[in-house]
Amino acid sequence: MYRHEATRAITAQRAFGIVRAPTPAEAATAAGAVLDAGLDAVEVALTTRGATRAIEELTTARPGALVGAGTVLDATAARAAIEHGARFLVSPSLHREVIRTGHRYGVPVFPGVSTPSEMVRALEEGADALKLFPASVVGPSWVRDVRAALPQAPLVPTGGVTVENAPEWIAAGAVACGMGSALTSGGAGAAGARVAALLDALARAR
């Protein structure tokens, strides 16, 4: 799968899950729950101890799933995540070496941005999509205003996005939303119900 194909697949549902957990086993379980509930893509944050083991376990058990690594801060972390099967990389910040490492191995990278200047720089560096972080400090109307000037910016709001407000972000022009505890917490049953509600809401929002 080429980078552009992977990016399209990751954003096709207009949302992907973000998992942070105390152990790799718990991370794999939480990620598996949202994948089993119908979400196509999920990232495991590298702040999880043993996160790469969870990524490898998930990609081995679910070869068709789009499992990525989040909180990727440098080239070393990017390479390790890719070697363990990560199919996309997400960062809370903008680092050229993370983008270059991902692209060297054909993996899309979504760096973190929070201003129009950072968005332009990320696009110049070749970012595949832009993680708007933290989204909680702005709002959908901010995305709408920014995209009036930068319609080419593929924004992925993350941090503060919920099942209830995700459709508003998409309506404002975001290509997808990254969702953490608002989607994945509370066990498999609760997460599954949220995924179903989210996908239904996004389908109606389109």
Q: How far apart are the first and last CA of the chain?
A: 26
* Alpha-carbon distances of 149 from 56, 119, 127, 139, 191, rounded to whole Å: 40, 11, 18, 16, 36
Q: Classify 139 as helix, strand or coil.
A: coil
For the entire predicted model, the pTM comes to 0.96
CA distance 177 to 197: 15
Distance of CA 144 to the CA centre of its chain: 20
Catalytic residues: 43, 131
pLDDT for residue 90:
98
User: How many residues can be counted in the chain?
Assistant: 206
pLDDT for residue 38:
93
pLDDT for residue 138:
96
pLDDT for residue 11:
96
CA distance 63 to 85: 10
pLDDT for residue 203:
87
pLDDT for residue 163:
94
pLDDT digits (tens), the chain, 206 positions: 899 999 999 999 999 999 999 999 999 999 999 999 999 999 999 999 999 999 999 999 999 999 999 999 999 999 999 999 999 999 999 999 999 999 999 999 999 999 999 999 999 999 999 999 999 999 999 999 999 999 999 999 999 999 999 999 999 999 999 999 888 888 888 988 999 999 999 988 76
